[in-house]
Structure 1
Amino acid sequence: MQTVFEQLREKVILHLQTIYADIDLTKDYGTLADEILATMRLNSSNVGHITPHTNLWTEEDIVLITYGDSVIETTDDVVDSSNNPPLATLKVFLDKYCAKAINHVHILPFFPYSSDDGFSVIDYSTVNQGLGSWEHVQQITENFGLMADLVINHCSSRSAWFQQFINDQAPGNKYFYTASPDDDTSMVVRPRTSPLLRETETADGTKHVWCTFSHDQVDFDFRNPDVLIAFAEIIRLYLDKGTRIFRLDAIAFLWKKKNSPCINLEETHEAVRLFRTLIENVDPNAIIITETNIPNRQNLTYFGNANEAHGIYNFSLPPLLVNTLLTGDCTYLKSWMMSMPPAQNGTFYFNFIASHDGIGLRPAEGLLADEEIDSLVNCVQSFGGKVSWRSTEDGKQKPYEMNIALIDALQGTIEGPDQWQIERFICAHAIMFGLEGVPGLYIHSLLGTTNDYDKVVNTGQNRSINRHRWSYDKLVEELDDVHSLHHQVLTKLTQLLHIRRAQPAFHPNATQFTLQLGRKLFGYWRQSLNRQQSIFCVSNICNEVIEVNLSDINLIGTDEWIDLISQQHIVMEQGTIHLEPYQTVWISNMFDRD
């Protein structure tokens, strides 16, 4: 009978056989598996059984998304990173304002980088000195679970590996994917309009390096198993430093193959399965989330059979939810919700509305009509937003994402700005917080940060509009002012999170059922895993007062019901409740929490 470690080794070999089926390797699969397992420091003494379909999360799990320098100490408007590095300031902010509402923090790439606000990594093993050190990162992990990016598709053209490529020196000289300008790349799917190939002079002659995103972000060649081993070493380092959640950045583009779209290939999916196998055998509580900004059906495939990603970004939610609140019509959102399969145990949806990137429109393809997308884009532009574009296979330009701070995107409707901005913004989050899955909350949504036009001018990048950098003193001043927009938003959102985290029916895998309440009311029902608690989540998504018939919600008359948000008891005999514009109710039965 095989030992657990022998079973693991055999499983790794099977992963490798699938990944490299079409590649002539210089070493056999067993030798390669042994090198990878040794790199991960996995052996017969530290490998145990992994229980499949295990939920490693509860209703208490909330992730805050932030850059390491989203909040900084300043001295006379100059960043003071010597005595108060940004990661230390971030810890102060988290401990003071987030400890009771959030238990995980996604620190966006905190490594040395050359562009793309961290996603063009120069060195994967060290912390950007301008942010702090590994010690500062680990101090944050004392109170919060750490979510970190594994920027695995590409690295910086200024990295040591790419300099080795230019100098034709090992190991970097074989780390990057190259192609010929004469190759037919018409099928390649990309999120950018820049030329795909970067002409680079090397000691071995002129090379054309594959660049999915930008010419400063050079794509790795995973056909070389040494690249895989290098990333196994990086993964092990991140685990050693306390990473609990791995965000696999741009993972859909990992594997390239001639005469293919070079996205979502089977080799990529198998690589995710391999990373899952390695990571969970080092830490059974570690989690993988795939970042795949692609159409909804393709995105769902990264669950595999509960053997790929634990979680997938719910990329269709932001454009559909924003569209719902701007139009006052939840038809598209409701149709999508009804089509979404429940995440089986051991998997979850990672829900978000805003992030460091824009509001992606590819995940809305096939869900919103083209004219609906055009109307949405025009409305967001009228509210001061920017639009980033992509090229289609026939060379046409299509909107790829909308760049705008969420609070500004919700300042009005398609009819124009109005007085319901804060209510509409809170409504969006109340809807998201209650949905099946784990919520991810962007720091600039938590703080109600508005468009940063100066940063767009300074960087020349549309995405900078929603990447403001707060001075800690200025932020505290705003948050202490009860009349400020930022105080109101922080207070209301943290109150909602406190309520959410105490409800078993909001477990990420609890039952969810979409309610049919017409176009202007969006609702769904959640039921706890033990079936003791039911919550009916109903939101008025328009700027009119709406009367809700309790019979339409189908509350059980023998139970007592309460709106968890307002703490108002629901009197069944009244027959109706009225919802103010953009008001949400979480109607829960009274049950024995023991």
Structure 2
Amino acid sequence: MYEQISHTLLNDILNRIKPEISEQDLRHFYTRLGANFYGIHLLFQRLYGDRDDFDQQAQKLVETMATQYINRPDRLRQLDLAREKDYNWFLHQQWTGMALYCKGFAGTLKGLQERLHYFQELGVNMVHVMPILLCPEGSSDGGYAVSDFREINPEVGTLEDVGQLAKEMKERDILLVLDVVVNHTSNKHYWASCARAGDKKYQDYYYTFENRNVPDMFEQSMPEIFPETSPGNFTWDEEMGRWVMTVFNDFQWDLNYSNPAVFIEMLNIILFWANQGADILRLDAVAFLWKKIGSTCQNEREAHLILQLLKDCCQVTAPGVVFIAEAIVAPVEVIKYFGEDAVIAKECEIAYNATFMALLWDAVATKNARLLNQGIKNLPVKLERATWLNYVRCHDDIGLGFDDRDILLCDYQPAHHRQFLVDYFTGKFEDSYARGLPFGQNAKTGDTRISGSLASLAGLEYALETGDKEMIDDSVKLILLLHGMIMSFGGIPLLYYGDEIGTLNDDTYRDDPYKKGDTRWVHRPSIDWDKADQRNIPGTVEYEIFSALKRMIAVRKEMDAFADFNNRELIEVENPHLFVFGRYHLQKPNEKVLVVANFSNRPKSLNIGELGSWGAQYRQFVDVYSGECPDVFKNNLVIPGFTFYWLSER
């Protein structure tokens, strides 16, 4: 396609644009549209260029972007301009996030607004409020089965409450992260209701079929996501008299992105939430956006084109907003969600580092860093102007999706090793005190995932029950060790609500008929604020964890080397219990931090001579986290059990 063709089309679109749009002040919009339209047209044509209504759909696409630009509040437009100048703003080390359920954390959006001081006390300045939209009771998938993309769940508040929350968060310099569920809707959504009533327009919003012929073709290559609770990938809808694709649950209907009307609808929704004050939008289940017979229907090339197009369109209307890709897939695939064949991110600027999370849990169970080191060696280098979201625990299960080749290189047998990890974290292994629960067991493949709060998986629940002081101390050390890794690795650390005060498993989900079949609810707690108040009482577990994390976050913000500019170097050492890497400042060679972690419960040593240039100029190390100098004996650095150091030269 020649560039002048896209310019001609753009001129035609602007000549036909509605008067209520063209009469507005669109200076910045037109500048950005002109700069981005070649890419937008190219992508839109690749996806939908063979359709007879292509020109009309392209017209609607531009008018959608323009309308949302007009609706964008002036304060957000000013923020866009500032972030266009400081385009690396989200790569700096100042950001620390927390993910939470509004209802579990504070009851309502107003309650959350009243608790903003809590984040500031801890040092958290990015808050991911997980789905708060309207969902059918009992068929919500934790908020990810949306029945209205613009209506708030009345149990937590109103759209006006979201606006007030966003406004005060900006006044406190706290970023707001919101979800947009882009892959599917609830079967109670208006579009689904229209499809069920026989409306062909809305049946084309989904994948629906009169008989099993096409579904059976899909099923030959598609894996099952929830084999226990939702086997297969299609559900028969009696009222519609058609099969509908339901990859996740029978009440979640997959959207058909081969229809440009669906793309434009979802772009409109994304821009709507950008205009409500979201700084970051988490796009859910992006790996599933394109369905193709004969494939797994995950990670398809067209899914990436859709994300590139969403990003280009958002750059025109709300360039200050960045995307998180929720793609829990293999490292070789997840890296593509930053954007393939690119230098800077052109899809999503942020992606979950699920591999690092899973590798950390492997190190906890084995008490060594062999697989952790091996896995990190094979973690692809991210793009510039892109970053990882590093986390220990989230609202979902812990998957064990390590590369089998890495497991074999560590002299483990893949199936046996994964079973060991499941047994360890569910407390079946003899030397384990973890209190996790199995999730998503697949009898066909043997795959099992793990549920459980961080504290219960780390042995704190058992230690508190037995009153074993040494075991309590070890569990707290382990919790802090894991957080020390996500805060220093490179990227944005994301805490999970309750972990900062050692919240244990919540077994009350078993009493709820809508939740009892899903073990993930064991780690989706309602915060006990009386217990949380103990964070201010020395000698309590809550105080030990909260105050340590508070100090960790504060130190991190002062360390320029912890900003994420591909400035990390893995250092392989002989001691298999140690995980060692260096962080450095690209413009200031003398600003370095050496991170050393011991995943054994026993002290381990590191020969400083193994550190190469990181130890060659050693005079005396100081741990910038604790402010103390670690023990050194005969040129060997001594690291106590379950301890990490952030080392800099004194």
TM-score by length of 1: 0.88
Task: Tell me, in whole angstroms, the C-alpha distance in 2 between the residues paired with 1:21 and 1:331.
Answer: 50
Report SS of the residue matched to 2:637: strand
Task: Tell me, in whole angstroms, the C-alpha distance in 2 between the residues paired with 1:574 and 1:91.
Answer: 54
- Aligned match of 1:431: 485
Aligned AA (1:243): A
Cα offset, 1:323, TM superposition: 1.0
Whether 2:380 is the aligned partner of 1:380: answer no
Cα offset, 1:572, TM superposition: 7.8
- Aligned match of 2:238: 201
Report SS of the residue matched to 1:470: coil
Task: Tell me, in whole angstroms, the C-alpha distance in 2 between the residues paired with 1:169 and 1:308.
Answer: 33
Task: Tell me, in whole angstroms, the C-alpha distance in 1 between the residues paired with 2:395 and 2:418.
Answer: 21
Determine if contact 1:87/1:131 at 8 Å carries over to the other structure: yes
The structure-2 alpha-carbon separation of the partners of 1:60 and 1:390, relative to structure 1 and needing over 3 Å to count, comes to same
Percent identity over the alignment is: 21
- Aligned match of 1:88: 110
Determine if contact 1:121/1:156 at 8 Å carries over to the other structure: yes
Task: Tell me, in whole angstroms, the C-alpha distance in 2 between the residues paired with 1:358 and 1:433.
Answer: 21
Deviations, residues 49-92 of structure 1 (Å, cap 9, x unaligned): 978984533001111110111223xxxxxxxxxxxx52222233
Task: Tell me, in whole angstroms, the C-alpha distance in 1 between the residues paired with 2:635 and 2:592.
Answer: 19
Task: Tell me, in whole angstroms, the C-alpha distance in 1 between the residues paired with 2:403 and 2:500.
Answer: 25
- Find the partner of 2:393 among 354, 361, 371: 354
Task: Tell me, in whole angstroms, the C-alpha distance in 1 between the residues paired with 2:274 and 2:100.
Answer: 20
- Find the partner of 2:624 among 558, 564, 589: 564
Task: Tell me, in whole angstroms, the C-alpha distance in 2 between the residues paired with 1:177 and 1:36.
Answer: 24
Task: Tell me, in whole angstroms, the C-alpha distance in 2 between the residues paired with 1:50 and 1:480.
Answer: 40
TM-score by length of 2: 0.81
- Aligned match of 1:121: 146
The structure-2 alpha-carbon separation of the partners of 1:245 and 1:559, relative to structure 1 and needing over 3 Å to count, comes to farther
Report SS of the residue matched to 1:288: strand
Task: Tell me, in whole angstroms, the C-alpha distance in 2 between the residues paired with 1:364 and 1:116.
Answer: 28
- Aligned match of 2:186: 156
The structure-2 alpha-carbon separation of the partners of 1:586 and 1:248, relative to structure 1 and needing over 3 Å to count, comes to same
- Find the partner of 2:278 among 243, 255, 272: 243
Determine if contact 1:53/1:344 at 8 Å carries over to the other structure: no
- Aligned match of 1:491: 547
Task: Tell me, in whole angstroms, the C-alpha distance in 1 between the residues paired with 2:331 and 2:237.
Answer: 36
Task: Tell me, in whole angstroms, the C-alpha distance in 1 between the residues paired with 2:618 and 2:287.
Answer: 50
The structure-2 alpha-carbon separation of the partners of 1:191 and 1:214, relative to structure 1 and needing over 3 Å to count, comes to same
- Find the partner of 1:530 among 567, 587, 594: 587
- Aligned match of 2:326: 291
Where structure 2 has 5 or more consecutive residues not aligned to the other structure, the ranges are: 8-30, 408-413, 428-433, 461-465
Deviations, residues 480-529 of structure 1 (Å, cap 9, x unaligned): 44333223222211211111111001002251111122201111000013
More displaced, 447-456 or 92-101?
92-101
- Find the partner of 1:19 among 47, 52, 69: 47
Question: 1:30-69 maps to which residues of 2 (within 5 A)?
Answer: 30-41=58-69, 54=88, 56-69=90-103
- Aligned match of 1:453: 507
Task: Tell me, in whole angstroms, the C-alpha distance in 2 between the residues paired with 1:563 and 1:546.
Answer: 16
- Aligned match of 1:541: 599
Determine if contact 1:109/1:148 at 8 Å carries over to the other structure: yes
- Aligned match of 1:79: none
- Aligned match of 1:336: 375
- Find the partner of 1:166 among 193, 196, 200: 196
Determine if contact 1:303/1:311 at 8 Å carries over to the other structure: yes
Cα offset, 1:42, TM superposition: 7.5
The structure-2 alpha-carbon separation of the partners of 1:434 and 1:502, relative to structure 1 and needing over 3 Å to count, comes to same
Task: Tell me, in whole angstroms, the C-alpha distance in 2 between the residues paired with 1:542 and 1:571.
Answer: 17
- Aligned match of 2:567: 511
The structure-2 alpha-carbon separation of the partners of 1:57 and 1:133, relative to structure 1 and needing over 3 Å to count, comes to farther
Cα offset, 1:547, TM superposition: 2.6
Cα offset, 1:139, TM superposition: 3.6
Cα offset, 1:301, TM superposition: 1.4
Determine if contact 1:525/1:537 at 8 Å carries over to the other structure: yes
- Aligned match of 1:404: 452
Higher helix share: 2
Whether 2:620 is the aligned partner of 1:583: answer no
- Aligned match of 1:175: 205
Determine if contact 1:181/1:197 at 8 Å carries over to the other structure: no
Deviations, residues 462-484 of structure 1 (Å, cap 9, x unaligned): 11010011243x23443344333
Deviations, residues 180-227 of structure 1 (Å, cap 9, x unaligned): 42221211134221231111134xx51111001001111111222111
Where structure 1 has 5 or more consecutive residues not aligned to the other structure, the ranges are: 73-84
Whether 2:466 is the aligned partner of 1:466: answer no
More displaced, 516-525 or 417-426?
417-426
- Aligned match of 2:221: 187
Cα offset, 1:39, TM superposition: 4.5
Aligned AA (1:336): G
- Aligned match of 2:558: 502
Cα offset, 1:342, TM superposition: 3.0
Question: 1:99-138 maps to which residues of 2 (within 5 A)?
Answer: 99=121, 101-114=123-136, 115-138=140-163
Determine if contact 1:510/1:527 at 8 Å carries over to the other structure: no
The structure-2 alpha-carbon separation of the partners of 1:331 and 1:403, relative to structure 1 and needing over 3 Å to count, comes to same
Determine if contact 1:54/1:345 at 8 Å carries over to the other structure: no
Determine if contact 1:322/1:410 at 8 Å carries over to the other structure: no
The structure-2 alpha-carbon separation of the partners of 1:446 and 1:572, relative to structure 1 and needing over 3 Å to count, comes to closer
Report SS of the residue matched to 1:195: coil
The structure-2 alpha-carbon separation of the partners of 1:24 and 1:457, relative to structure 1 and needing over 3 Å to count, comes to farther
Task: Tell me, in whole angstroms, the C-alpha distance in 2 between the residues paired with 1:24 and 1:337.
Answer: 48
- Aligned match of 2:28: none
Whether 2:314 is the aligned partner of 1:279: answer yes
Task: Tell me, in whole angstroms, the C-alpha distance in 2 between the residues paired with 1:577 and 1:527.
Answer: 20
Report SS of the residue matched to 1:351: strand
Deviations, residues 250-289 of structure 1 (Å, cap 9, x unaligned): 0111111222221111111000001111222223331111
Report SS of the residue matched to 1:59: coil
- Aligned match of 1:312: 351
Determine if contact 1:87/1:137 at 8 Å carries over to the other structure: yes
Report SS of the residue matched to 2:90: coil
More displaced, 250-259 or 396-405?
396-405
Higher strand share: 1
More displaced, 423-432 or 21-30?
21-30
Aligned AA (1:140): L
